[in-house]
Chain A
Amino acid sequence: MSRIELTVEATDVVKRFKGANGGPALNTISIAIPKGQLTALVGPDGAGKTTLIRLIAGLMKPDSGMLRTLGIDVASNPQAVQDLISYMPQKFGLYEDLSVMENLNLYADLHGVSMDERKERFNRMLAMTDMAAFTGRLAGNLSGGMKQKLGLACTLVRSPRLLLLDEPTVGVDPLSRRELWRIVQQLVEEEGLPVVVSTAYLDEAERCAHVIVMTEGKILAEGTPADLCGLAKERCFIAYPPTGVLARTLQACLIDDRANVLDAVPESGAVRFIRAKDTQTSDLDSALQGVRCEATPARLEDGVMTLLREKNAQINFVQPRRQQNLQARAGAGSDSAELIQVRDLVRWFGEFTAVASTSFSVRRGEIFGLLGPNGAGKTTTFRMLCGLLPATSGFLEVAGFNLRTARAAARARIGYVSQKFALYENLSVVENLTFFGGAYGLDGSELKSRIDHALNEFELQTKKDERSGNLPGGFKQRLAMATALIHRPEILFLDEPTSGIDPLARRAFWRRITTLAAEGTTIIVTTHFMEEAEYCDRIVIQDAGRLLALGTPHEVRTQASGAANMNDAFLAIIEKGRQNRQASAMPVDASI
């Protein structure tokens, strides 16, 4: 057998799905992934990342073109490739009714790992994933982060020649993400294992040696993270809002200026933005209105955003809102009225304390963020606030109604978007809106005008008669928002709305949220993207049911001894909280 020069080699690979309208999933892709390094696939939803990984794994055949994995022609000999590679699909591939050890043994048996080899390998995997204490637990009872680590351990029960990971960190908290990446990088460094990973997190892609940016089935660019950062070189700036103006207000002004600004995000109390190629600093005056700016080095995210915006003009991006100057915009927003009051909230599930003595309040027009690792009690808190779950004890008032006595009245004032797509998949967009409007007691011309408004506001006009189950991911999420807002609630609850969504769609999503907040809607949101906490007025950080931090993003960063960004602040606060708890001899069980 000839010496393998390349891990993956693709020449003009085309893959088309039967019955799919639009272009092919992969459109004449040519790539060369060298061996022994970490390669990232990034790009918006539907770019073809998963399809490419499945083709490399031999789970699908290309329609045309040549694809060699580890020097083997995959299309003609998929089993030979599968005998050499390890692959973790998006759903991890775990048997939830088998225990951790039973899952490991099953995959070891299927891969033909000998008993001696297995002992050494299992010990290493269990130590790496920190799961030695949980080998008897059913996989279904593990937290999201631990499931994902177990999924990785199962794919690594033997030493593969190539590791393929398909979006391994979707819906996983920063703590678990950091651990997963530690394991992957260790494998690359110690074993020289080539890894191909698709991800929606660009900070993860930044750790890779090689980054491939895909969009609409094509390769947009590839290179080292430094190469890609170069695309936004000397065009990245930090703008500092004047006192009394929220960072997100300035961010909204900048991102609305689509011609001159490629991207803008709030960061550490300021706004990071990318200037368009031919834009002079003076062109930005109308948006910036004289606020102080500083140049800043480009990151991978800046490079990728530049690529996506410049190479693809008609890409789905933020719709500019009504033009207003910064001062006028700054005037709107939260007032002092407290819309949600929570005092000493407690929730037990049997012996297990999901939420322990939590108190906070949310003011009208605020964007309020709930952050925490998987299993911190965010979802439980959330469900109690929405009146979906009764509290074990404590006081809970939403929109002036006590949730113990007037749950239904409070519910009419809130809108809720759940993590999963919870609409009727076989009803059309309009039918879903009509049904939910009716459920909230709307009818006749009022219902019709609300639906028309929702279709325009959420850009669903073109898809209004399509079955909602067939919509692309971004449209589904917009429809879910439109449905939750059809009765004009005072409070909107969003549970991990941006999990698994690409950066472009996330910008558009947050622009809508900041607009809603500016119009006076109160927003409660959970997220695993720590940088999104910068859009919030105030945030809480929870872990193991306890409230560890509460305040503005600035206050929280200060509490974490002035961490540079929210991700670091979050990690510092969680780690300190866990140390304190261990010190006070409390049993630690973050896995439930």
Chain B
Amino acid sequence: MKQPMNAPARLAGQFIRRLRALVIKEFRQLLRDKSNLAIGIFLPILLILLFGYGLSLDIRHAPVVIVLEDGSPTARDVVAGLRGSDYIAPRYVTTMAEAESLMRERQVDGIVRIPANFSRQLAQGRGSIQLVLHGTDAATAASLRGYVAAAINGWNKHRQDTSGRMSAVPGIEVLSRLWFNSANSSTWYLVPGLIVLIMTLVGGFLTSMLIAREWERGTMEALFVTPVHTFEILLAKIIPYFTVGMLGLTLCLVAARVLFHVPLNGSLWVFMVSSMLYLMVALSLGLLISAAARNQFLASQIAIVTTFLPALMLSGFLFDLQNVPTGIQKVASILPATYYVELARMSFLAGDNIHLIVRDWTILVVQFAVLITGARLRTQKTLDR
């Protein structure tokens, strides 16, 4: 107390030194535990490849057989529109019987039949084409119907333009699902959601074990009798996992741009700030779970149920929240992931919306403040509970 002027500087020096020691410790533990790296680095890569290539909701080169019963140039011109797309790989037969046998052998997913009287009926303004789909895979069937309809429609419009004459438009609608997804690619739609999932895994799931592990191994008791503050313990746990989370995010972004050409319609910095905010919320939730459970197994179970699964099912990642019951909407509205999914989709697909940014950032900041305070209160330097 002889030099009161130096006291704050000295305290700050001690704080920095202790925090540095703890952060180095956490990084070492992180790097030596292979399962952490697997979840932090390899899982994101695996998920991107899996979702990007495997779990696409689109079809590519779907085998379709075209039955040309009408050999006229008009009929050939109509089906030429089908051949030109990446979605459909057409093959040609001349009788319906051949096509049916191919369909039964599951060599094709659908039949497009141009009936013998097609060009004559078209000339009368009501040409019709028969489309038969293999219904066992409903998702593929629905997509295929959309593509065929769109292709025929496209030809129809083209014909109107060139001939300048009105004709009956086939009664097929173009689905509004193509909004904000001009390539009609579900990958564009899934990748932002995937980033949310990965950030949730790193933030919520990995960190949920951290404090629990120190309790289980008895190291918490040893830390408590050092001059360290609980605030420093928490901060030292956030820093390394924040780094891993941002690394995973970068990987996802690069993959999104390079592999899947997902456009980033909003500004990059808005998306990065949103991601950091969400990562902080997820980290503090993980730490709160860990501090409350004091048991790694229990903590990981709670983390899966309260962070990962809701982020997957309820955040709007897979299912549109406007189509779920109000009860579930209420649950979704308290989930941090819901807001991050919203922000990510905005950044990638729709472009910046200042109203949405302000609202969702505020919500995330408040959630972070509440959760980190909870974690802090749950980690008292005492063995009493």
Contacts and interface: CB of A to CB of B under 8 A. Distances in A.
Interface stretch (B109-117, B222-230, B295-303): B222-230
Interface stretch (A37-45, A56-64, A121-129, A243-251): A56-64
B17 A112 contact: yes
Interface in A563-586: none
Contacts of A110: 18, 21-22, 223, 226-228
Interface in A76-90: 78-79, 82-83, 85-90
B54 to A, nearest CB: 35
A268 interface: no
Contacts of A291: none
Nearest to B219: A93
Given A89-B222, A96-B217, A98-B29, 8 more contacts: A18-B385, A58-B225, A79-B381, A91-B219, A94-B222, A95-B219, A97-B32, A106-B24
Interface in B11-60: 14, 17-18, 20-22, 24-25, 28-29, 32-33
Contacts of B14: 112
A106 B381 CA distance: 18
A78 B227 contact: no
Nearest to B220: A93
B383 interface: yes
The 6 residue pairs across chains A and B that have the minimum distance between CB atoms: A93-B222, A91-B218, A109-B21, A110-B226, A89-B221, A87-B225
Interface residues of A, number: 35
B382 to A, nearest CB: 6
Interface in B197-238: 217-219, 221-228
Contacts of B222: 87-89, 92-94, 107, 154-155
13 contacts: A59-B381, A82-B381, A83-B227, A91-B218, A93-B222, A93-B223, A98-B29, A106-B21, A109-B18, A110-B227, A110-B228, A111-B226, A111-B227
Contacts of B29: 95, 97-98
A91 B217 contact: yes
B161 interface: no
A59 B219 contact: no
A59 B21 contact: no
B33 A57 contact: no
Interface string A99-125: 000100111011110000000000000
B384 A61 contact: yes
Interface of B: 14, 17-18, 20-22, 24-25, 28-29, 32-33, 217-219, 221-228, 381-385
Contacts of A85: 225
Interface in A374-429: none
Contact of B219 (A60, A86, A94, A109): A94
Contact of B225 (A86, A97, A106): A86
A554 interface: no
A105 B28 contact: no
Given A54-B383, A98-B29, A110-B22, A79 B17 contact: no
Given A78-B382, A92-B218, A98-B28, A59 B18 contact: no
A54 B382 CA distance: 9
Nearest to A157: B226
Given A91-B221, A93-B223, A60 B383 contact: yes
Main secondary structure of the interface of B (DSSP, over half): helix
A83 B218 CA distance: 19
Given A59-B382, A78-B382, A110-B22, A97 B33 contact: yes
Main secondary structure of the interface of A (DSSP, over half): loop
B28 A102 contact: yes
A571 to B, nearest CB: 29
A112 B218 CA distance: 22
Nearest to A78: B381
Interface in A115-161: 154-155
Contacts of B226: 82, 107, 110-111
A105 B32 contact: no
B39 to A, nearest CB: 16
A18 B385 CA distance: 8
A370 B33 CA distance: 36
Contact of A90 (B218, B224, B227, B382): B218
A94 B24 CA distance: 15
Given A54-B383, A60-B382, A60-B383, A95 B25 contact: yes
A460 to B, nearest CB: 27
B359 to A, nearest CB: 42
Nearest to B385: A18
Contact of B227 (A87, A92, A112): A112
Nearest to B226: A110
B203 to A, nearest CB: 22
A197 to B, nearest CB: 15
Contacts of B382: 59-61, 78
A106 B223 CA distance: 10
Nearest to A50: B383
A347 B217 CA distance: 30
A60 B226 CA distance: 15
Contact of A59 (B20, B33, B224): B224
A98 B26 CA distance: 10
A79 B224 CA distance: 9
